[in-house]
Chains A and B, each alone.
Chain A
Amino acid sequence: MTMSFNQSPRIPSLPRQFQGKWNKKSYHVLRELGRGANGAVYLTTQGGVKRAVKVGAEGMDILMEVNVLKSVQQGRDSQVGPLLCDVDDLVIDGKPCTFYAMEYLEGEQLDRYIRQSGVDWVAVMMVQLLARLHVLHKHGWVFGDLKPENVMVTKSSKQVRLIDFGGVTKQGNAVRQFTEEYDRAYWHAGDRKAEISYDLFSAAVMMVRLAVDPQTWQSSHSETRHTVWLCDIIRKSDGLYPYRVPLLKAFHGKYSTAGEMRAEMLEILKDLTVAAPQKQKHIQKQKRTSGAGGMGISGLFVASLLLLAGTLYYAWFM
């Protein structure tokens, strides 16, 4: 996050042990998990159960997050984010502070997970993420500050969950919080109105960032930010190229729901996984009978021409 060592008021630090003022639950603090723009998250135990506790500098911001977490919690299977467990106050250095406790999700930040498990996972995780966003959007929110650091892959079930709801904004308002790298306005592709398409834009940028090596991504900083640069990367990347249509559509705000984008990505993902073994068979066949192989090759050629035409169409008309 930003190097804000002087923001006033400072984000308070939790004492080793504390009790909520209203609900009287006692927490033992084990360690700090991380610090974001709005607050700090700690790992604690409460009644023998691990809980993540978030405190922030501004009580109002913390309460807004509670508001969102509560609203997406109808229906336990939604799994958008962590479950909310407690909202309460405590006193730190004589000042009242609001905190909330949530389910502790054990897992890995999405970017670290991809680094460890390989880029094959990028598309799978994107499809999952879009499903989570779809639920969030249905409740009238936009996530806003979508970036790998705010997406977690759970250790046990490899499920994608959104964490840090500080940027979540009511649809139609101005996005509360964003990170430039994933921000639509920063890429000169629109404004900061909290729209479904804003999140989908960030998601598409995130997919590109996750699929390419850090050096390539770093070079974006020296360029003037424009989606043309992203399209260039997609064209050169074997991992991203098959997904160019949904990615381009997301860059240009052509989807009205996350579900639509998810369906199209899933279709491509399925085709790719099914197509891979077929391709090998195909090559074996080709060795035996050159005639059929020739047809296959010309078929591929025609297909790639069509794909090229499709890309050009997008580049031209959007």
Chain B
Amino acid sequence: MKEATLRQILVVTDGCSNTGMSPVAAAALAREQGITVNVIGVIEKSELGEKGEMEIREIAEAGGGLCDIVYPQQLAQTVQMLTRKAMTRTIHQVVNKELKEILGDSGIEELEPQKRVQVAGMVDELGEKSSLNVVMLVDTSGSMKPKLSAVQQAIHDFSISLHSRSGQSRMAVCSFPGKQKYLDVRIPWTEKVEQAHQISSDLAMSGITPTGPAIVEAIALFEHVKLPRALSERYADMESDDNEDGSLRDHVF
């Protein structure tokens, strides 16, 4: 196996989506295109209802990723851990698939534990060396406001984690709902995020939480994905509108 590129979308939210397509379906769509979707629920007390909790779990499951529900203080640490675990998992699945081709139906479970320890070492090493592209998708609807400083800290912190890897890493940060579209790109693809980035400024004021549509638009940020026609037209509009997003455009098209 060569060094792969791993693609992830990390959704940071505190509640239920309430508009547009189902976020679970959107996550399934992402997975179909080789993008893993992880979800972190950020809560203040136990404000996240059963419905919200279920949605978070379902998005992660459909997106082939992991989820966790944490207090704002734990966010930074959770972002790093969830990302790493999801990476290991993806690579494990690929390795397992290849092993199945070699070993027949059984796959890795049929190897004795001593041998599997070696495979684990290999999986870990592949995870470290492979390229990683992550889009962080931050829910900035009303109730998230008090948590945004923690999110901002976590973004910068995550950038340090990515920078500490041996493999190439890139991240982009988007907020939803966006001003005109479902999401706004706050930080285009970058290898290092400066602390100065203010995600809490200049937000779209809105009560809607379009998690599903935002995931679909986030998929479009990965260059290997061909956009559905409707979406590519929308992004084409944007392109002519504001030229500041030039760096983003390079990667989208």
Say whether B113 contacts A88, CB under 8 Å.
yes
Q: Is residue B193 contacting chain A, with contact meaning CB distance below 8 A?
A: no
Q: Is residue B128 contacting chain A, with contact meaning CB distance below 8 A?
A: yes
Q: 1/0 per residue A1-21: CB within 8 Å of B?
A: 011111110000000000000
Q: Is residue B241 contacting chain A, with contact meaning CB distance below 8 A?
A: no
B100 → A minimal CB distance (Å): 15
Q: Which of A2, A88, A96, A185 contacts B70 (CB 8 A)?
A: A2
A residues within 8 A CB of B73? 180, 221
Say whether A6 contacts B113, CB under 8 Å.
no
A residues within 8 A CB of B113? 22, 63, 66, 87-89, 98
Q: Is residue A292 contacting chain B, with contact meaning CB distance below 8 A?
A: no
Q: Is residue B57 contacting chain A, with contact meaning CB distance below 8 A?
A: yes
Q: Which chain A residue shows the least CB distance to B109?
A: A96
Q: Which of B38-81 contact A (CB under 8 A)?
A: 41, 53, 56-57, 60-61, 66-71, 73-74, 76-78, 80-81
Say whether A175 contacts B117, CB under 8 Å.
no
A185 → B minimal CB distance (Å): 5
Say whether A174 contacts B120, CB under 8 Å.
no
Say whether A2 contacts B41, CB under 8 Å.
no
Q: Is residue A67 contacting chain B, with contact meaning CB distance below 8 A?
A: yes
Q: How large is the interface on B (under 10, 10 to 19, 20 to 34, 35 or more residues)?
A: 35 or more
- A63 vs B122: C-alpha distance when bound (angstroms): 11
- With an 8 Å Cβ cutoff, the count of chain A residues facing the other chain is 40
Given the known inter-chain contacts A185-B157, A191-B164, please indicate yes or no for A5 contacting B69, CB distance below 8 A.
Answer: yes
Say whether A6 contacts B123, CB under 8 Å.
no
A residues within 8 A CB of B128? 170, 173-174
Q: Which of B86-112 contact A (CB under 8 A)?
A: 88-89, 92, 109, 112
A223 → B minimal CB distance (Å): 13
Say whether A185 contacts B160, CB under 8 Å.
yes
A residues within 8 A CB of B67? 6-8
Say whether A6 contacts B53, CB under 8 Å.
yes
Q: Is residue B145 contacting chain A, with contact meaning CB distance below 8 A?
A: no
Say whether B165 contacts A58, CB under 8 Å.
no
Q: Is residue B251 contacting chain A, with contact meaning CB distance below 8 A?
A: no
Q: 1/0 per residue A136-178: CB within 8 Å of B?
A: 0000000000000000000000000000000000101111111
B151 → A minimal CB distance (Å): 15
Q: Which of A58-91 contact B (CB under 8 A)?
A: 58-61, 63-64, 66-67, 70, 87-89
A136 → B minimal CB distance (Å): 17
Say whether B88 contacts A58, CB under 8 Å.
yes
A residues within 8 A CB of B76? 180, 186
Q: Which chain B residue shows the least CB distance to A178?
A: B77
Q: Which of B41, B69, B70, B120 contacts A60 (CB 8 A)?
A: B120
Say whether A3 contacts B74, CB under 8 Å.
yes
Given the known inter-chain contacts A58-B89, A70-B117, A98-B116, please indicate yes or no for A175 contacting B164, CB distance below 8 A.
Answer: yes
Q: Which of B61, B109, B117, B164 contacts A67 (CB 8 A)?
A: B117
Q: Is residue B84 contacting chain A, with contact meaning CB distance below 8 A?
A: yes
A residues within 8 A CB of B191? none
Q: Is residue A37 contacting chain B, with contact meaning CB distance below 8 A?
A: yes
Q: Is residue B166 contacting chain A, with contact meaning CB distance below 8 A?
A: yes
A65 → B minimal CB distance (Å): 9
Q: SS class of chain B's interface: helix, strand, loop or mixed? A: helix
A residues within 8 A CB of B116? 59, 63, 98
A residues within 8 A CB of B84? 174, 176-177
Q: Is residue B168 contacting chain A, with contact meaning CB distance below 8 A?
A: no
Q: Which chain B residue shows the least CB distance to A179?
A: B77
Say whether B164 contacts A193, CB under 8 Å.
yes
A residues within 8 A CB of B77? 2, 178-180, 183
Q: Is residue B114 contacting chain A, with contact meaning CB distance below 8 A?
A: yes
Q: Is residue B121 contacting chain A, with contact meaning CB distance below 8 A?
A: yes
B residues within 8 A CB of A179? 77
Q: Is residue A252 contacting chain B, with contact meaning CB distance below 8 A?
A: no
- A96 vs B71: C-alpha distance when bound (angstroms): 32
Q: Which of B1-59 contact A (CB under 8 A)?
A: 41, 53, 56-57
Q: Which chain A residue shows the least CB distance to B195?
A: A188
Q: Is residue A192 contacting chain B, with contact meaning CB distance below 8 A?
A: yes
Which of B56, B73, B120, B166 counts the most chain A CB atoms within 10 A? B120
Say whether B81 contacts A177, CB under 8 Å.
yes
Which of A7, A37, A186 counts the most chain B CB atoms within 10 A? A7
6 contacts between A and B (CB under 8 A): A7-B67, A8-B57, A8-B66, A63-B116, A173-B166, A191-B164
Q: Which residues of B contact A (CB under 8 A)?
A: 41, 53, 56-57, 60-61, 66-71, 73-74, 76-78, 80-81, 84-85, 88-89, 92, 109, 112-114, 116-117, 119-121, 123-125, 128, 157, 160-161, 163-166
Given contact pairs A191-B164, A193-B164, a sample of 11 additional A-B residue pairs in the complex whose CB atoms are under 8 Å apart: A3-B71, A5-B69, A6-B69, A7-B66, A60-B124, A63-B117, A98-B113, A177-B81, A180-B74, A185-B164, A192-B164
